[in-house]
């Protein structure tokens, strides 16, 4: 079902990945979801703090669910539309992202990027599919060592997908010691029609990569500003909390 086909007050279903949630009133939550069918949406989960049967831990960030939502009245008005989340069916908790601080932070970084950059109700199934592959196929990846590479990988893919260009140029200039084979694998893994997330994570895991840190990631952000003109406030705050060495 497309966004144009949505009828006010009907219950719709869509595969979704939870981007995050905020408490609303005493027991409710406003949940942010990246859906397969409708893009990024916001939904009100009534009594989410109490209803373990309908929600439980299934609305935690990085959780893959099937979402059952009631369509809001203003769905076709052009205004921000708040669905009502009736329940979710857990599909995959991606528990490997909760193993340590580095993996949690990398996952939340990617989710926040989507939540802050993408407009609501713009259907883009490819973003949903690549996000799902990123969460699934990084299961054996060593985030404690290479989290900046993982963050850069998804950020670079999304920048290309949105039509801004090559975000990775600063790192290419900084890392002349990396072989042409590495950059060929990097570029091939981001091909729009067949994003080879698992293959590239396996490639990263098998190599002795240079360590990246917050100073390097600032260069990515400067390149992001050049390409997109979008100030990402979360990154500006996040980077201040990182050690610079």
For the chain, 245 residues long, the average pLDDT of each consecutive 10-residue run is 68 94 86 94 85 73 94 66 90 92 94 95 92 91 88 93 92 84 83 77 76 88 96 94 71
Classified as helix, coil or strand, 88 is: strand
Q: What is the pTM of this model?
A: 0.89
Alpha helix positions (H), 43-95: none
Position 223 scores a pLDDT of 96
Position 140 scores a pLDDT of 85
Classified as helix, coil or strand, 186 is: helix
Position 39 scores a pLDDT of 93
Position 165 scores a pLDDT of 92
Position 142 scores a pLDDT of 86
d(CA 121, CA 81): 8
d(CA 15, CA 35): 6
């Amino acid at each position: 079902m497309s966004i144009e086909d949505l009828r006010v007050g009907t219950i719709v279903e869509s595969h979704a990945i939870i981007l995050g949630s905020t408490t609303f009133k005493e027991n409710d939550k406003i949940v942010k979801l990246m859906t397969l069918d409708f893009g990024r949406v916001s939904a009100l989960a009534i009594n989410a703090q109490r209803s373990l049967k309908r929600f439980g831990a299934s609305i935690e960030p990085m959780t893959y669910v099937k979402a059952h939502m009631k369509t809001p009245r203003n769905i076709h008005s052009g205004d921000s539309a708040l669905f009502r989340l009736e329940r979710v069916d857990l599909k995959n908790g991606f528990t490997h992202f909760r193993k340590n601080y580095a993996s949690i932070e990398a996952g939340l970084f990617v989710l926040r990027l989507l939540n802050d950059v993408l407009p609501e109700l713009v259907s883009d199934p490819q973003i949903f599919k690549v996000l799902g592959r990123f969460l699934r196929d990084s299961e054996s990846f060593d985030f404690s060592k290479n989290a900046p590479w993982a963050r850069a990988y998804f950020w670079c893919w999304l920048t290309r997908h949105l039509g801004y260009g090559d975000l990775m140029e600063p790192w290419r200039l900084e890392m002349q010691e990396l072989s042409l084979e590495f950059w060929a694998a990097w570029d091939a893994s981001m091909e729009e029609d067949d994003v080879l997330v698992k293959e590239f994570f396996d490639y990263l895991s098998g190599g002795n990569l240079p360590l990246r840190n917050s100073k390097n990631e600032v260069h990515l952000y400067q390149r992001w500003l050049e390409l997109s003109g979008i100030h990402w406030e979360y990154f500006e705050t996040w980077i201040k909390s990182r050690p610079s060495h």
